[in-house]
Amino acid sequence: MKKLMYSGAGLLLIAVAFLAFNVLSGLTLGNARLDLTEQKLYTISEGTKQILGEIEEPIDLYFFYSDKSARELAVLRNYATRVQELLEAYERAAKGKIKLHVIDPEPFSEDEDKAASFGLQAVPANQSGEQIYFGLAGTNGQDDKQIIPFFPLDQEEFLEYQVSQLVQSLAKPELPVVGLMSGLQINGGFDMASRQPTAPWMFMEQARQLFKITSLKIGIDQIPDSVSVLLLVHPKQMPEATLYAIDQFVLRGGKLLVFVDPFSEADTGMPMLPGDGADKASDLEPLFKAWGLRLMPGKVLGDGSYAMAVGMGQSQRPVRHAGWLGLPPRALNQDDVSTAGLESINVATSGILEPLEGAKTQFLPLLQSSEYAMPFEAARFGMLGNPEELLRDLQPTGERYAIAARISGPAQSAYPNGIEGQKDGLKAADNINVIAVADTDLLSDRMWVQVQDFFGQRMPQPFADNAGFAINALDNLSGSDALISVRSRGRFSRPFEVVEALQREAEAQFRVKEEDLQKRLGETEQKLAALQQNQDPSKPMELTPEQQATVQQFLAEKVRIRKELREVRFQLNSKIEELGGVLKFVNIALVPLLLTLGVLALWLWRRRKVA
């Protein structure tokens, strides 16, 4: 035997044993893994376990994955393995309530028809036209079905949320009830000017397909128990009884999506006094205070970076409006399920939300301004003639302001002693779930969708993701607490805080210098213009030698200031680059240098000892 081992045959035996062992271990040892990431990103979370524990009727999950067609796509194969393992973990944790079927839908097979009939999307695998299915369908005892048409490869962080949401909607198949309380005619109404009924907002039509919408009157003193999410739009001068009802609803676990606005353009109510902007404002002040946030009172957010160009009527060029913002992906929180993956959201004269100091709740910004933003007086917008003046007056503070935020965590009642006639309500809750948005206009059609009348059918053509955001938020809130907790596990973005601080500091310094230089530049230009205006337009331009000299001097000054400005901008990042340089040195050269010195010292020491 020993002789056989120590021969070429022995080598072959080792190779075969190694291969066989690893093929077998790949097949048999599933999910024996140690997750050492900080937030256990690769382990089923408590929230999911709770959802699985609450399943009453068995659920069938069909995992469609074109294994054979994807044989050359290593990245997809890896992710598919991960998805399958996760689904198997669900099956195990559900203790018989989930049955998983893994299906490889071969081309022209019954399985492929089944995948297609579920509504799964196939993507082409290669030029030969092979299709790959990589999605999930689920059914319950009542033949409800839910699908994930295709697992997006770039959304691994939401994988568990997606699957848990699917499982939950099968476990509790009735449509979630959304209670709508609105100060705007969001559900359609009557236009006084044209004496015509108006159509419901497109957002509501979309929401109606996914949720059961119940309209609630402003003024009610109790939110019905059947409501799982309250959609509150433009709350204005609400009676205390209604505020208390909302307070109690949120404390007893009801979810709230609230849109407030310092200046709602969709509010067509006539102002009491001309130019009275405050009349278009809404707020939920006492409740916000109890939840640890506030809407900056009487302030509208102005942003130089995200300002949209707005039309000023025919034959006029569009101008940029610092109060109308087109928010790009950078402004949308990419780690939250309600905003991740969205491309753009438009808001009009939105407000600013901020956490209160010492609040116990968590304040997670969902929509944020750029650094080139500042608060404006809301009253200005009531009689704003030319939006360009906003941009001119904009003095960025360097802060990124929150336009929407998710509020969660422990909260107290805003009315700890109850109200007249209702004394013994809830005083506090361990966890509330609120999403607050400081703009009501983002729901209105003109901010995000063109509606075309197509033979009597209203066809929406969205140009922004406003409705996507609002529906995602409703969808997320209408899930259970357990499901919402699945969302909040991952922290995939870990920015260089030190560098960001340096950046903020440098920008603040730059702005001070820039302002100064801009002022001087403005003065110089004004003087130059004044000199030229003194000329009689009927006469050809004639300057006295002194005037000419002054003009030359001003022009030179202008060039110098511009150059200085450029230099200041150039220096903006010098500190950051400096830090980068130091870090590069430390990581590339420092240890090798110390090591070399150490070796040299050792060598010298040894030589001396020998000598």
Partner 1 sequence: MKQLPVVFKRELASYFATPLAYVFILIFLVLSGVFTFYMGGFYEGGQADLKAFFSFHPWLYLFLVPALAMRLWAEERKSGSIELLMTLPITRFDAVTGKFLAAWVFAGIALLLTFPMIITVNYLGEPDNGAIITAYLGSWLLAGSYLAIGSCMSALAKNQVIAFILAVSACFLFIVSGFPMVLDAFTGWAPQWLLDAVASLSFLTRFDAISKGVIDLRDLLYFITLMAAWLAATAIVVDLKKAD
Q: What residues make contact with partner 1 under the rule CB under 8 A?
A: 5-8, 10-11, 14-15, 17-19, 21-23, 25-26, 29, 32-39, 41-42, 67-68, 71-74, 77-78, 493-499, 580, 583-584, 586-592, 595-596, 599
Q: How crowded is the C-beta side of 134, counted as CA atoms within 13 Å?
A: 25
The residue type found at 477 is L
Task: Return the number of other C-beta atoms located less than 10 Å from residue 349's C-beta.
Answer: 28
| Residue whose CB is less far from partner 1, 71 or 252 | 71
Which whole-number Å values give the CA distances from 310 to 268, 277, 383, in the listed order?
20, 21, 16
| Residue whose CB is less far from partner 1, 11 or 549 | 11
Contact 464, 447 (CB under 8 A): yes
Query: For strand 449-454 and strand 457-462, is the pairing parallel, antiparallel, or unpaired?
Result: antiparallel
Q: Name which of 325, 438, 319 is nearest 372 in CA terms.
A: 325
| Residue whose CB is less far from partner 1, 5 or 559 | 5
| Residue whose CB is less far from partner 1, 81 or 452 | 81
Give CA–CA dist 7/281, Å, rounded.
88
| Residue whose CB is less far from partner 1, 332 or 467 | 332
User: Residue 353 Cβ, how far from partner 1 at the closest point, in Å?
Assistant: 25
| Residue whose CB is less far from partner 1, 529 or 590 | 590
Contact 259, 439 (CB under 8 A): yes
Give CA–CA dist 1/80, Å, rounded.
44
User: Residue 74 Cβ, how far from partner 1 at the closest point, in Å?
Assistant: 5
Angle (CA) 278-284-287 rounded to 5° is 150
| Residue whose CB is less far from partner 1, 174 or 497 | 497
User: Residue 251 Cβ, how far from partner 1 at the closest point, in Å?
Assistant: 33
Which whole-number Å values give the CA distances from 145 to 136, 140, 171, 415, in the listed order?
11, 7, 11, 43
The residue type found at 403 is I
User: Residue 14 Cβ, how far from partner 1 at the closest point, in Å?
Assistant: 5
Q: Name which of 542, 325, 538, 589 is nearest 448 in CA terms.
A: 325
| Residue whose CB is less far from partner 1, 7 or 452 | 7
Which parts of 328-395 are beta strand (E)? 345-348, 353-355, 362-368, 373-377
| Residue whose CB is less far from partner 1, 26 or 197 | 26
State the Rg of the chain over Cα: 32
Task: Return the number of other C-beta atoms located less than 10 Å from residue 124's C-beta.
Answer: 11
User: Residue 128 Cβ, how far from partner 1 at the closest point, in Å?
Assistant: 12
- DSSP for 74-131 reads HHHHHHHHHHHHHHHHHHHHTTTSEEEEEE---TTSHHHHHHHHHTPPEEE-STT--E
